[in-house]
C-alpha cells in the first residue's frame, strides 16, 4: 500500500486548486476516474512480470492509482459541500466515507476468490461506471458564480433542487457571500491569513491527525495479523469480512444521524470509544507478551475491533472529510482541502509503514496504548476547538469562525 499512499499525497498537491480553477465536477469526474481505472487495471496486468522494467511499470501503476485516490479525497468533499442543501449536507458528505468502506469490504470478499488480475479488472470497471453516470451531474453553482455566470449557476441549482424549489434565496445567499469575500479580501493571501481560515486549518489538520493517529489503518491493514497474534479461533478471512461489514453498517447509520445529532457529539462519542477499545487491545496484547493466560478473553480482540470499527465509522471516519468541505471560504477551499488531505495521507503512510517497527521495539500492547493516549488528546481537541456546523449554511459557518 505504500506507493498508493505516496501517490495520494502527491495528487493532493496537483489538485490543490480543486474546484477553483478547474471546475469541481471536472476535477471529480475526468482525471480521477480514468486514472483509477487505468491504474488498477495496469497494476493487475503487470503483476508477476519478472523483468526490471516490469517492476518499474508495476510500481508506476500503483502510484497512478494513489494519484487518483488523492484527487477524489480532495475534490469530492468540496463538490458535495457546494451542491448540498444545509439540512442534508452532513448526510451527503457521509456517503464519501461510506463508499470507501464498501470498497474495502469488496476487496475483503473478492480477494480470496479471485487472483489479482481478475480483481484488478473488476476494480477498474467501477470507476468507469462512475465516469459514465457522473456525466449527468451538474457543475457546482458556486463555481459558476465565481466565474460571473449567474445564468449557469441558476440552471445548476434548478437541476439539483428541482423546478418546484425556489432557488432565488439560495442563489442570492451565495452571491452575497462571494461579494462580501471579494470586498473584504482582495487577494488569495489575505483570505488565507484571515481568522476564519486559520481556525479552519487548525480544525481540519487536527481532525485529520486524530483520524489517523487513533490507529484505524492498523485495524484495516493489519486485521489478519492482529487476529493471528491474538490466537483467535475465528479464521482471519472471516474476521476481516466481519469487520468490513460492520464498517458499512455503522457508516450507513452515520449518514442518517449526522444531521440530527450533529458533528461535535458524534466526534466526541466516537473518539472516547476509540480510546477505550485501543486500550482494551493494548491490555490483551500486553498480557500475551508477558505470557499470561488469555484463554478466557479470546473474544476481546474481535469485540474491541468491532466496537472500534462501529464508532470510527459513525464519527471520525466520515466527519473530518465532511467538515473539510464545510469550514473554508470558497477562495481557499481547494488549497485548504488538498493540504488537509496531504496531512492525512502522509500520516497513513507513516503509521502503516512504522507500526511493525514500533510494535517490535516497545511491544504491540504498548503501541495500542499509544493510540489510546492520542485519542485522549483528540477528545480535548474536539471539545475545545471543533464547532458545530449542523444545519448551518457555508456563509454562517464562516461568520462563526470569524467570531462575528
Tell me: the pLDDT tens digits for 125-141? 887 888 888 888 888 88
Give the angle subtended at the CA of 133 by the CAs of 128 and 138, to the nearest 5°.
Answer: 130
Cell numbers representing residue 113 in the block: 476468490
Query: Between 364-385 and 195-213, two packed helices, what is the crossing angle to 10 degrees?
Result: 160
Do residues 93 and 341 lie in contact, with contact meaning Cβ atoms separated by under 8 Å?
no
Residue 62 is predicted with a pLDDT of 73
Cell numbers representing residue 137 in the block: 451531474
Q: In whole angstroms, how far apart are CA 316 and each of 69, 182, 208, 215, 308? A: 19, 34, 9, 11, 11
CA 270 – CA 207 distance, rounded (Å): 12
Cell numbers representing residue 187 in the block: 487577494
Cell numbers representing residue 302 in the block: 474481535
The residues of the chain that CATH labels 1.20.1250.20 are 26-137, 192-402
CA 379 – CA 369 distance, rounded (Å): 15
Residue 266 is predicted with a pLDDT of 94
From first CA to last CA, the distance across the chain in angstroms is 44
| 165 conformational bin, left if phi > 0, alpha if psi -120 to 50, beta if neither | beta
**CATH topology (fold) of 26-137:** Growth Hormone; Chain: A; (1.20.1250)
| Sign of the Cα pseudo-torsion (232, 234, 240, 243, in order) | negative
Residue-wise DSSP of 304-344: HHHHHHHHIIIIITTHHHHHHTTSS-TTTHHHHHHHHHHHH
| Sign of the Cα pseudo-torsion (309, 315, 318, 324, in order) | negative
Q: In whole angstroms, how far apart are CA 128 and each of 24, 135, 270? A: 18, 11, 34
CA 316 – CA 318 distance, rounded (Å): 6
| Predicted TM-score of the model (pTM) | 0.75
Mean pLDDT by 10 residues, the chain (404 residues): 47 47 61 65 61 68 73 78 82 83 85 80 80 84 85 90 84 77 57 80 95 87 70 70 85 84 92 96 90 84 87 90 84 80 86 86 92 97 92 84 76
Instruction: Name the architecture of domain 192-402.
Output: Up-down Bundle (1.20)
Which residue reads 451565495 in cell numbers?
A: 174
Cβ partners under 8 Å of residue 133, min gap 6: none
DSSP 8-state assignment for residue 187: S
> Which among 398, 359, 395 has a CA at the least distance from the CA of 176?
395
Q: How many CB atoms lie within 10 A of CB 179?
A: 11
Cell numbers representing residue 278 in the block: 485501543
CA 307 – CA 77 distance, rounded (Å): 26
Which residue reads 473488476 in cell numbers?
A: 122
CA dihedral 269, 274, 280, 281 (to 10 degrees): 160
CA 311 – CA 103 distance, rounded (Å): 19
Q: How many CB atoms lie within 10 A of CB 249?
A: 13
Amino acid at each position: 500500500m505504500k506507493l498508493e499512499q505516496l501517490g495520494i499525497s502527491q495528487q493532493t498537491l496537483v489538485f490543490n486548486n480543486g474546484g477553483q480553477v478547474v471546475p469541481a465536477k471536472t476535477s471529480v469526474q475526468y482525471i480521477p476516474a480514468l486514472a483509477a481505472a487505468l491504474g488498477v487495471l495496469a497494476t493487475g496486468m503487470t503483476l508477476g512480470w519478472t523483468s526490471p522494467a516490469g517492476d518499474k511499470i508495476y510500481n508506476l501503476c500503483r502510484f497512478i492509482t494513489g494519484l487518483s485516490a488523492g484527487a477524489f479525497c480532495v475534490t469530492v468533499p468540496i463538490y458535495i459541500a457546494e451542491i448540498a442543501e444545509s439540512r442534508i449536507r452532513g448526510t451527503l458528505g457521509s456517503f464519501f466515507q461510506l463508499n470507501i468502506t464498501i470498497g474495502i469490504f469488496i476487496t475483503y470478499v473478492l480477494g480470496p476468490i479471485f487472483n489479482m488480475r481478475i480483481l484488478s479488472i473488476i476494480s477498474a470497471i467501477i470507476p468507469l461506471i462512475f465516469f459514465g453516470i457522473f456525466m449527468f451531474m451538474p457543475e457546482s453553482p458556486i463555481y459558476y458564480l465565481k466565474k460571473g455566470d449567474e445564468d449557469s449557476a441558476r440552471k445548476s441549482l434548478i437541476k439539483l433542487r428541482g423546478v418546484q424549489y425556489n432557488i432565488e434565496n439560495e442563489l442570492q445567499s451565495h452571491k452575497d457571500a462571494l461579494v462580501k469575500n471579494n470586498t473584504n479580501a482582495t487577494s488569495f493571501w489575505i483570505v488565507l491569513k484571515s481568522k476564519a481560515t486559520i481556525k479552519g486549518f487548525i480544525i481540519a489538520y487536527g481532525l485529520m491527525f486524530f483520524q489517523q493517529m487513533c490507529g484505524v489503518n492498523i485495524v484495516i491493514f493489519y486485521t489478519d495479523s492482529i487476529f493471528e497474534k491474538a490466537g483467535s479461533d475465528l479464521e482471519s478471512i472471516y474476521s476481516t469480512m466481519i469487520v468490513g461489514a460492520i464498517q458499512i453498517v455503522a457508516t450507513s447509520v452515520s449518514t442518517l444521524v449526522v444531521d440530527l445529532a450533529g458533528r461535535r457529539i458524534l466526534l466526541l462519542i466516537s473518539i472516547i470509544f476509540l480510546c477505550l477499545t485501543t486500550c482494551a487491545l493494548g491490555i490483551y496484547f500486553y498480557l500475551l507478551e508477558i505470557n499470561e493466560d488469555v484463554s478466557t478473553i479470546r473474544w476481546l480482540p474481535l469485540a474491541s475491533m468491532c466496537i472500534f470499527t462501529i464508532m470510527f465509522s459513525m464519527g471520525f471516519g466520515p466527519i473530518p472529510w465532511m467538515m473539510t468541505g464545510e469550514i473554508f471560504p470558497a477562495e481557499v477551499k481547494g488549497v485548504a482541502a488538498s493540504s488537509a488531505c496531504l496531512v492525512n495521507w502522509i500520516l497513513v503512510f507513516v503509521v502503516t509503514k512504522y507500526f511493525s517497527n514500533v510494535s517490535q521495539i516497545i511491544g504491540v500492547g504498548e503501541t495500542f496504548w499509544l493510540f489510546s493516549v492520542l485519542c485522549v488528546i483528540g477528545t480535548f481537541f474536539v471539545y475545545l476547538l471543533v464547532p458545530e456546523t449542523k444545519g448551518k449554511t457555508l456563509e454562517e459557518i464562516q461568520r462563526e469562525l470569524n467570531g462575528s
